[in-house]
Each structure stands twice: as C-alpha cells, then as structure tokens.
C-alpha cells in the first residue's frame, strides 16, 4: 500500500516563487500525513498561461531554480510535478532554446532520469492549438522529438520505475492533452500501455473550466482507464490565469479513475485541496482518507456550477490584480444588477459603489430599481446627473467651425446617444473610481459584445467584463438563481427583472412604453450563439438555408416555431440576418479589440479563444445565390 496525495493547488501565472511556496506548504503537509507520494498539476512552477514570458532566459532560469528547490524537498516524500523542461543546447522551431511541457519525478533529493531521452523529465506528447491554447508556440513535443531522432514517439517513452517497499513500481506519465487524443494520430495512453505494465498512470493537467467540460472530462478519463485497465490519478489545478483579453478559472475536479472506469471525484470543483489516501497494489484501488474530499462527489446543477465558477474567477482575479473596490454604473437594468451582486459577494457590499447616472431619458422605474438594489445589497450608492455635461458637449458641437473647411458637423440622434454613454463611462465612472482608488466594471453581456451593441469608451469601458461570456438568457437565469436559491429573497428588484431591456438613451427607448433594445433576446441569443459557439461555426449561408428548409429553430436551438413567428417573410428574415451579421463581423469585431478582459465560462469566450481579424463582413457566393433565388421566388 502506498500513501498518495493529490495536490489540487492554485497556480499563479509566471510567479515561480509564490507557486513554490504553495507547493512547499502542501509537501510539508503531506509529509506530516505520512504520504509516500504527492502529485501536483501541469506547469505547477511557472504557470500555464504566461504568454511570451517563455522567451525570457532569465525566467527560464528562475523555473529551473525552483524545479531544483522542489527536488530538495523530496527527501521524505516522492514528488511528481509539472514544469518546464529545458534543453539549453537544442533549439525550438522559432530558434529559441528548446522547451518541453514536462513532468518531473523527484525522489530522495534527485530527479529520476528518463533513460530513453536522457532528460530528467517526461515530455508531453500532444499539443493543443485550438481555443485559448498555444502549446506549439512555446513547447516542443514528444512527436517532434521523435521525428528529430527518426524514431516513433513511443520509442521515447518508458514508465517511471521506482522501488517502494521492495516492490518495483511502474508509474505511467501523461500530461493534460495526452488524454484528449481522439483527433490525434498518436494515442499516448494506449501506446504507452502496449509495451509496459503500469501500476497506475498520472495525468497532470492545467485544464480551464468551461460549461460542460467537467462531465466531458470524467467520461473521457473513465473510458481511458477502463480501456487500458489501469487506474489514473487525474490531478488538475485550480486558480485563475489569463491570456490578456480572456480570464480563465481552473476548476480542479481532480479524480481517481479505477481500472474498471469508475470515477472517484475527490478534488472538488474550484476547491483548493490536498486529497490524501491509500493506493492498494492488489486491488489497484485508491481509498481516500480525508473527509472533505470524500464528500465532493456530489452533482451540481448547471446554474450552481456557473455561480461557483464566476464568483471564483472574479474573486481570484481581484486578488491577483490587488483590486479591493469596484464602481458600477447601476442603470436599474439586469446586467448592472447582476454585476453588482457578483462583486458584492466577492468583495463585500461596502466595497461596491453603485452609481446611477440619469439623463432626462431615464425612467423613474429604472432609477428606483437601481436605488432598491443598492439598499438590498447595502452598497454605497449615489446619483450623478449627466445633463449639464451633455449640454456643454452639445453646445460645443453646434458651435463647431473649421478653418480651411466648410464642413458642418451633423449632430444626429445616434451621435447624441453615444455621447451620453461615453459621458457615463469615460467621464463619470472613470473619474469616480480614480478618486476612490477603485476600478469600474463593464457590464456588457455576450450579445452586446457579439454585435457591438455598446459604446466604445462608454458602456463598453471598464477593467473587467464579468458577464461578457453570458447570453442574455444566462444573465436572467443567474439573476433569478441568486434571488430564488442563494438569497431566497428579492435582492435583484422585480422591476429590474421585469422591465424591458433598454439603453434609455433617447425617447425611442422609453421603457414605460415598453420600448427597448432592438435585439429579440429569445431569438438572437441563439442565432448569435450559432455564429460564435457552435463547433462548426454557422454563417448566414447555413442560417438562411435552414430558415428556408424550416429547420432553423432546431439548428440554433431556440424555441420551436419562433423564427417563422418573428419573420413570416423571407425578406424580413434576411434583413434581420444581414443587419446583425454585419454588426458581428464589422463594428463588433472592431470594438472587441478594445474590449476589457472577459471572464470566460463557455467553450468560446471572446478574445484569445475567438481569434479574428477586423474586416468588411462578407457573404459567401452560395449565400448570395440562395438569397436571390428565395427573394425572386425562383425556388
């Protein structure tokens, strides 16, 4: 029997010193608990999302230094951890020093050497280059190394062999993506298992949370362990790391997968945890010994997962960025209300300042709703009018004359709307947060970001977009969840939940007359999602064909019959489709470049997971043909 600990630790990007301290603490704790082996996640020392920091030699030396420091800690316990493996002689394909995403095994103060590669580490085989991942940009993998050495990848593999209580143990080593091999021509678990008999495998991961991933991951690893008839210790990180524009939470959810494919959920969801237990060689089973880990095996509803994830990500992000106070432009609408709740839970109500900024277009209804929200949450609250400043801007524009030109500025309604939005974000909220030593949040949701339905330097400004990966129906669901399940009372006012969503920037946005946004969320949420999130990304061509075939609602996943009800004629459908596609690929793309960082929770957050160019939106020739046929009744 071997006592094994799984260290589900939070990892900080590029902060080797801090990560080492976290690891050291867990090692000491595991030694106290008489563990024989402790397993850490992928890239525990350097962090995973650190951008081009990998190009700094001094940073690489820092990593190596702390790798060594960990090996020194292995006198009384064996340590498996993920970190960077460096070959200072060889080159990466970009000409920089050779770097591998690696696993180290430290025992009695030394690293075990892989005799096949002569490296003191084991190399990740598969490199994810989709979504937010950039592995091939930085790391050489086992497959490339095998091409370099003119052999097969499996020729470079051997298990880690250790002697434990007179027993020879063989431990299989894999890293994160190595398990997700279904679309690769190389399957590490299977190929490594063919030549060796392993007592167990480890998989060290830095696998970020997105909606539905936890279930997919469990299904995957349980099927692997069953197939190779070998148990797997799956150890994933927690914590928050960002890729600049997009902020990810790592959900942990470390687990033991038995050789029969049973899943023992042990680490918990977004839970910092040292799971300890006994691995029995005969049964090849793992018996967990700490009580809190045993209890993590409960199912969470989707909305509960979402709540935990968003709160965890915001909280950790605030801590890393050392932000203690947040200012929120509270309009009385649903987005700012949900933002306020989230920040109040994370930072404490007293640190969340709600500012209502009315103009003559704002209704008593929404102003009151903003006030009630502040009272319900007990947040600092104030109201600052934008009327006098707007008036100055208006006068300056009306009086504007240019030397050397006879051009006369055209002060349209849309221009005036945007002036109001910028007066709120770029003038008042920016200035108030600066006087408070605070920052202000951007409350844009995913719909707004998709089609650029927000004003640059206005309501698109802020230090973070907590909601920008939530469709409007997700925003409502989460708001209702807080009222109904978390607080079990009306924290977000019913006025906010019931009022028609509206920008209230002109008389055309009068909520009392039920005039709101030009977006029909119960339909456009799903249409836009098909463009942004579907695996095979949909375009107007796909959507128009489906509308014509009567399958659009099914294709995009909205309520059945909705699209025909909203757009009885093909002409009206096409007008709407083209309007928003132009926004998504046109102004929307342009605005996203300047959007604040986004909290990622879906499979496709804007930013680094949705790489895009700015260009003129295009329609394929098939689309144009189909459209002409339909409009000319030639079909």
Count, residues in the chain: 635
Residues 127-156, one symbol each (x = binds its own copies by CB under 8 A, - = not), give xxxx---x-xx-----xx--xx--------
Q: In the complex, what is the shortest distance from the CB of residue 392 to its own copies, in angstroms, rounded to a whole number? A: 5
**Quick one: 402 exposed, middle or buried, by C-beta within 10 A (0-12, 13-18, 19+)?**
exposed
Residues 75-114, one symbol each (x = binds its own copies by CB under 8 A, - = not), give ----------------xxxxxx------------------
Q: In the complex, what is the shortest distance from the CB of residue 372 to its own copies, in angstroms, rounded to a whole number? A: 12
Q: In the complex, what is the shortest distance from the CB of residue 188 to its own copies, in angstroms, rounded to a whole number? A: 13
Rg (CA), the chain: 28
Question: Binding of its own copies at residue 536 (CB under 8 A)?
Answer: yes
Q: In the complex, what is the shortest distance from the CB of residue 317 to its own copies, in angstroms, rounded to a whole number? A: 9
> Which residue, 264 or 592, has its beta carbon nearer to its own copies?
592
**DSSP element (H, E) containing 3:** strand 2-8
Q: In the complex, what is the shortest distance from the CB of residue 615 to its own copies, in angstroms, rounded to a whole number? A: 5
Q: What burial letters (b/e) apply to 355-387, b meaning 16+ CB within 10 Å?
A: bbbbbebbbebbbebbbbbbebbebbbeebebe
CA 64 vs CA 48, 57, 71: distances in Å: 15, 11, 11
**Contacting residue, 378, 485, 551, 628, with its own copies by CB under 8 A:** 378
Q: In sequence order, what are the residues at sequence separation of 6 or more whose Cβ sits closer than 8 angstroms to the Cβ of residue 375? A: 381
Question: Binding of its own copies at residue 541 (CB under 8 A)?
Answer: yes
CA 126 vs CA 94, 136, 153, 223, 269: distances in Å: 18, 9, 11, 19, 25
Residues 195-224, one symbol each (x = binds its own copies by CB under 8 A, - = not), give ------------------------------
Q: Which of residues 57-76 bind its own copies (CB under 8 A)?
A: 57-59, 61-62, 65
Q: In the complex, what is the shortest distance from the CB of residue 601 to its own copies, in angstroms, rounded to a whole number? A: 18
Q: In the complex, what is the shortest distance from the CB of residue 329 to its own copies, in angstroms, rounded to a whole number? A: 14
> Which residue, 248 or 286, has its beta carbon nearer to its own copies?
248
6: nearest Cα among 21, 24, 34, 27: 27
Helices 334-347, 364-377: crossing angle, 10 deg rounding: 10
Q: How many residues bind its own copies (CB under 8 A)?
A: 127
- Output the 3-class SS for 155-178: HHCCCEEEEECCEEEEEEEEEHHH
Question: Binding of its own copies at residue 602 (CB under 8 A)?
Answer: no
Contact between 270 and 249 under an 8 Å Cβ cutoff? The reply is: yes
Question: Binding of its own copies at residue 290 (CB under 8 A)?
Answer: no
> Which residue, 258 or 316, has its beta carbon nearer to its own copies?
316
Contact between 95 and 58 under an 8 Å Cβ cutoff? The reply is: no
**Contacting residue, 415, 512, 631, 635, with its own copies by CB under 8 A:** 415
Residue carrying the six token digits 């030109």:
405
How far is the C-alpha of 371 from the C-alpha of 379, rounded, in Å? 10
Residue 301 token pair: 């509803």
Q: In the complex, what is the shortest distance from the CB of residue 433 to its own copies, in angstroms, rounded to a whole number? A: 10
Q: In the complex, what is the shortest distance from the CB of residue 330 to its own copies, in angstroms, rounded to a whole number? A: 12
Question: Binding of its own copies at residue 568 (CB under 8 A)?
Answer: no
**Contacting residue, 306, 610, 627, 630, with its own copies by CB under 8 A:** 610
237: nearest Cα among 224, 254, 222: 254
How far is the C-alpha of 412 from the C-alpha of 416, rounded, in Å? 6
Question: Binding of its own copies at residue 524 (CB under 8 A)?
Answer: no
Residue 108 token pair: 């009695």
Contact between 381 and 371 under an 8 Å Cβ cutoff? The reply is: yes
Question: Binding of its own copies at residue 435 (CB under 8 A)?
Answer: yes
Strand-pair partners of 232: 201, 257
- Select from 76-84, 105-113, 345-353, 362-370 the region that touches its own copies (CB under 8 A): 345-353
Q: In the complex, what is the shortest distance from the CB of residue 397 to its own copies, in angstroms, rounded to a whole number? A: 6
- Select from 116-124, 187-195, 495-503, 594-602 the region that touches its own copies (CB under 8 A): 594-602
Helix (H, G, I), strand (E, B) or coil at 71: helix
- Select from 29-37, 159-167, 259-267, 386-394 the region that touches its own copies (CB under 8 A): 386-394
Q: Which of residues 177-196 bind its own copies (CB under 8 A)?
A: 182-186
Q: In the complex, what is the shortest distance from the CB of residue 220 to its own copies, in angstroms, rounded to a whole number? A: 13
Q: Which of residues 236-265 bind its own copies (CB under 8 A)?
A: 241-245
Question: Binding of its own copies at residue 548 (CB under 8 A)?
Answer: no
Q: What is the DSSP letter of 605?
A: -
Residues 463-502, one symbol each (x = binds its own copies by CB under 8 A, - = not), give x---------------------------------------
Question: Binding of its own copies at residue 446 (CB under 8 A)?
Answer: no
Residue carrying the six token digits 């650190």:
50
Residue carrying the six token digits 């920052």:
439
> Which residue, 2 or 465, has its beta carbon nearer to its own copies?
465
Contact between 349 and 487 under an 8 Å Cβ cutoff? The reply is: no
């Amino acid at each position: 029997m071997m006592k094994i600990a799984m260290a589900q630790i939070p990892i900080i990007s590029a902060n080797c010193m801090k990560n080492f301290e976290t690891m050291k603490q867990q090692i000491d704790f595991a030694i106290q608990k008489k563990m024989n082996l402790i397993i850490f996640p992928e890239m525990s020392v350097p962090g995973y999302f650190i951008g081009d920091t990998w190009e700094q030699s001094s940073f690489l030396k820092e990593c190596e230094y702390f790798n060594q420091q960990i090996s020194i800690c292995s006198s009384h316990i064996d340590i498996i951890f993920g970190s960077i493996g460096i070959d200072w002689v060889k080159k990466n394909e970009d000409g920089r020093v050779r770097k591998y995403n690696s696993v180290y095994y430290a025992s009695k103060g030394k690293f075990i050497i892989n005799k096949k590669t002569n490296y003191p580490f084991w190399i990740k085989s598969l490199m994810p280059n989709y979504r937010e991942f950039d592995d091939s940009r930085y790391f050489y993998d086992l497959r490339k190394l095998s091409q370099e050495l003119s052999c097969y990848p499996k020729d470079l593999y051997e298990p880690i062999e250790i002697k434990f209580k007179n027993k020879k143990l063989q431990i299989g080593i894999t890293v994160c993506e190595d398990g997700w091999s279904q679309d690769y021509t190389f399957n590490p678990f299977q190929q490594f298992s063919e030549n060796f008999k392993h007592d167990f495998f480890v998989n060290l991961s830095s696998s970020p949370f997105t909606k539905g991933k936890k279930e997919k991951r469990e299904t995957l690893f349980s099927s692997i362990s069953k197939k190779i008839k070998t148990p797997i210790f799956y150890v994933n990180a927690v914590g928050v790391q960002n890729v600049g524009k997009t902020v990810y939470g790592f959900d942990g959810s470390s687990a033991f997968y038995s050789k029969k494919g049973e899943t023992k959920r042990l680490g918990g969801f977004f839970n910092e945890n040292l799971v300890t237990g006994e691995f029995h060689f005969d049964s090849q089973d793992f018996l967990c010994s700490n009580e809190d880990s045993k209890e993590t095996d409960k199912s969470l509803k989707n909305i509960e997962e979402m709540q935990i994830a968003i709160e965890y990500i915001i909280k950790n992000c605030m801590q890393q960025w050392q932000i203690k106070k947040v200012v929120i432009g509270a309009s009385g609408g649903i987005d700012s209300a949900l933002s306020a709740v989230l920040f109040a839970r994370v930072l404490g109500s007293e640190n969340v300042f709600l500012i209502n900024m009315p103009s003559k277009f704002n209704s008593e209804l929404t102003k009151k709703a903003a006030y009630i929200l502040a009272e319900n949450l007990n947040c600092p609250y104030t109201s600052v009018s934008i009327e006098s400043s707007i008036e100055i801007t208006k006068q300056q524009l009306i009086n504007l004359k240019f030397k050397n030109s006879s051009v006369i500025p055209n002060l349209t309604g849309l221009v005036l709307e945007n002036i109001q939005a910028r007066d709120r974000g770029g003038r008042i909220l920016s200035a108030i947060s600066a006087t408070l030593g605070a920052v202000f949040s951007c409350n844009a949701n995913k719909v707004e970001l998709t089609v650029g339905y927000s004003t640059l330097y206005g309501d698109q400004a802020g230090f973070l977009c907590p909601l920008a990966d939530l469709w409007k129906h997700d925003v409502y669901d989460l708001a209702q969840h807080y009222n109904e399940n978390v607080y079990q009372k009306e924290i977000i006012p019913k006025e906010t939940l019931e009022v028609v969503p509206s920008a209230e920037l002109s008389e055309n946005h009068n909520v009392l007359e039920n005039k709101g946004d030009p977006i029909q969320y119960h339909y456009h949420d799903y249409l836009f999602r098909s463009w942004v999130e579907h695996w095979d990304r949909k375009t107007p061509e796909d959507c128009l064909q489906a509308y014509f075939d009567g399958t659009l609602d099914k294709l995009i996943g909205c309520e059945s019959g909705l699209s025909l009800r909203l757009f009885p004629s093909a002409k009206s459908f096409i007008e709407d489709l083209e309007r928003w596609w132009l926004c998504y690929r046109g102004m929307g793309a342009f605005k996203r470049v300047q959007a604040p960082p986004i909290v990622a929770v879906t499979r496709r957050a804007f930013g680094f997971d949705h790489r895009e160019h700015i260009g003129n939106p295009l329609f394929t020739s098939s689309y144009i043909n189909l459209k002409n046929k339909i409009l000319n009744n030639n079909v």
